[in-house]
Amino acid sequence: MAWDPNQGQGQGQPGNGEQGQPGSGGTDPYSGYGTPQNPYGAPPPQYDTPPNQQGGYGYAPPQQAPRPIGQAIQELPNQYIKVLTKPSAQTFAEEMGKADWAMVWIQLLGLAILGTILGFIRAAIGLAGSSFVSNNQFNPTALLALSVSGSTFSFISVPLAFFILVGIQYLLAKAFQGQGRFLTQGYTTLLFQVPIYIASYVLGFIPILGGLAGLALLIYSWVLNVFAIMAVHRLSGGKASAVVFIPIVVVGLLLFLCIFAIAAILIAAATRTTP
């Protein structure tokens, strides 16, 4: 039988009414065109999805391009408001892509300067009724010396305390299989520490009420810290809570032991001197 070049012509061509073509009424109207593709791609995973097998959350926000310093500073107030008013791991996950060492040091420098200014004001108030003021004459030299020493202490103590705290939490997070970076953890920590530190210091000028408000802000900072650790290291709430509260419990226990030891020494000394 000779091969007819026209044999089969028209089969499988669009619009000829054969089976498998669009409009033919066949069982597979898309055969010959391939599998239709989703033009929008797969939706990105959300942070509140269940943990994966490693205990993480599968949310990895893209690292943003470096921003100009001026723009980054202008965006800080909105970031502070966002993390304070919308406390969640998702909130910190959305902000941690902006982590930058320059902004970490700028915020630490700002805290040191602010601490110096507020310390200067507090020292001036305290000196108003102290021995530095005699015969209604204010002694500016004493106040200047005190403010200089306080500013020097702030520029050393603020970054030192910050890196010690973040470093301890970072090591604990890694012990719990955390996946984050030290820079990202430090950056997200400052997003709630800076505004809470400022508010606590200002409220400290108010007797009694300022102390209560400061305690409430401290507790709230612990909650935000847990959310930040969850976002940065992709840990569950329980593990992130352990990272935050283990150092607090250890420090509290050490303070209690120190107070107990000092009290025991004083009681023993008083007992020996009593006839």
Is a pLDDT exceeding 60 seen at residue 201? yes
DSSP character for 19?
Answer: T
Dihedral over Cα of 58, 64, 66, 67: its sign = negative
Of residues 171 and 9, the one with the higher pLDDT is 171
Q: Categorize the per-residue pLDDT at 69 as very low, low, confident or very high, splitting at 50, 70 and 90.
A: confident
Q: By the 8 A CB rule, do 47 and 231 touch?
A: yes
Report residue 138's pLDDT band, with 50, 70 and 90 as the boundaries.
low
- The mean pLDDT of 250-271, rounded to a whole number, is 87
- For the chain, the structural domain boundaries read 69-273
Q: Quick check: 16 pLDDT over 70?
A: no
| H and E: helices and strands count for the chain | 7, 0
End-to-end CA distance of the chain: 133
pLDDT of residue 86: 93
Residue of 145 and 98 predicted with greater confidence: 98
> What is the reported pLDDT for 40?
45
Q: What is the pLDDT at residue 180?
A: 92
Q: Determine how many CB atoms are found less than 10 A away from the CB of residue 107.
A: 21
Q: How many CA atoms lie within 13 A of 132 on its CB side?
A: 16
State the angle between helix axes of 140-175 and 182-203 in degrees (0 to 180), rounded to the nearest 10.
Answer: 140
Please give the pLDDT value at position 61: 56
Burial 237-270 (b: 16+ CB within 10 A, else e): eebbbbbbeeeeeeeeeeeeeeeeeeeeeeeeee
Q: What percent of the chain has pLDDT over 70?
A: 64
Name the CA dihedral angle for 189, 191, 197, 199, rounded to a multiple of 10 degrees.
-150
Question: What local confidence, expressed as pLDDT, does residue 107 receive?
Answer: 94
User: Encoding tokens for residue 187?
Assistant: 């950056």
pLDDT grade, residue 139 (50/70/90)? low
Q: Distance between CA 241 and CA 230 in Å, rounded?
A: 9
Residue 150 has what pLDDT? 53
Q: Which two tokens stand for residue 67?
A: 């921003």
Of the chain, the percentage scoring pLDDT greater than 90 comes to 39
> CA-CA-CA-CA torsion for 241, 221, 228, 169, nearest 10 degrees?
-60
pLDDT band at 18 (very low <50, low <70, confident <90, very high): very low
pLDDT at 65 over 60: yes
User: Using an 8 Å Cβ cutoff, are 194 and 107 in contact?
Assistant: yes
Q: Is the pLDDT of residue 31 over 60?
A: no
The answer to whether residue 111 scores a pLDDT higher than 50 is: yes
Report d(CA 68, CA 142) in Å as an integer. Answer: 42
Closest CA to 193 of 87, 107, 85: 107
pLDDT of residue 149: 52
Average pLDDT over residues 160-187: 94
Rounded distance between C-alpha atoms, residue 60 and residue 254, angstroms: 38
- What average pLDDT does this structure show over 166-184? 94
Residue 261 contacts by C-beta under 8 Å, 6 or more apart in sequence? none
Looking at the predicted structure, is the pLDDT value of residue 20 above 60? no
26 pLDDT tier (thresholds 50, 70, 90) = very low
pTM, 2 dp: 0.68
